[in-house]
Structure 1
Amino acid sequence: MTDFDERLKKAIDRGHRTRQAEGAAAGEKQATEEDLRNLHSKLRIAVSEHIEACLKKLCDHFPGFEYSTVMSSEGWGAKISRDDINIIQRRSSNLYSRLEMLVKPFTETHILEISTKGTIRNKEALNRSQYRFLNEANESELIEIVDNLVVSFA
């Protein structure tokens, strides 16, 4: 075999190894993406169930609030709302209070986002978004975040 033939064979082998390595890396990346999607779903279910439980408890302690589950393109969670009438010197006005907490859908940024919007007597009290990278998020920390947000609204 000539020197050229040996170099050509080595180059071809090197190309095969590179292609195999790239294929393996792409397969791992796809598996990782699917793993992150599954993790997001698991955390989303746990956190949204906790949100629902917390807001139902809040309704039990504050009469007049109406509870509803939210499942939309914006996320999963729950909201409570209440309309009050304020009568001062023969004039009446409507006062609106609400709290909405959602877990946003999976995105390419690989984060879990909890969005909170709260209004008390027509004044915005809360408008927060909490983010955690999926590979760093744990269920107990997210549940604690939800607890703190509900307590701060109450």
Structure 2
Amino acid sequence: MERHPTHPAPRVGHVHLRVSDLDRAVAFYRDALGLEEQQRFGTGAAFLGWDGYHHHVALNTWDSLGGTPPPRGHTGLFHAAFLYPDRAALGAAVRRVLEAGIELTGAADHGVSEAVYFDDPDGNGIELYRDRPPADWPRDARGMLAMGNAPLDVAALVRDAGRP
């Protein structure tokens, strides 16, 4: 396969999800993740962002109103990941999720990052994480990344964030 050069720093700009109940999904992303509703597009879509950005998460019911999550074993979104700038910000976000009564489905120290996982009301996977500095990323003898899946002490993460 021929490789084509790309811009050196593309990044994921937003995630757009099909949901079954728009108001329920907006409430989840607003209350649990702290996103702000920026716009409603009729009764079928909403756009939410942090810090006034047009949208980091778009939600729609165009083909999914009243629908059910895809069954396990099918293709589709594994999770949308939201990167926090540091451990304190991640811990504060995780505290908000836990205080909202959302059950975590996982938590891991990947060596390059610390991450927690849970599902939105439509069964879409969500990851909240923070990266360690690249100089601290674990590498094998060949210099390749050596990411892992070690347990993460979520209580310590939240405690270390302090109180707002």
Task: State the TM-score, normalized to the length of structure 2.
Answer: 0.26
Larger radius of gyration: 1
Greater helix fraction, Structure 1 or Structure 2: 1
Of Structure 1 and Structure 2, the greater strand share is in 1
Specify which structure has the bigger relative contact order, considering alpha-carbon pairs within 8 angstroms and separated by 6 or more residues. 2
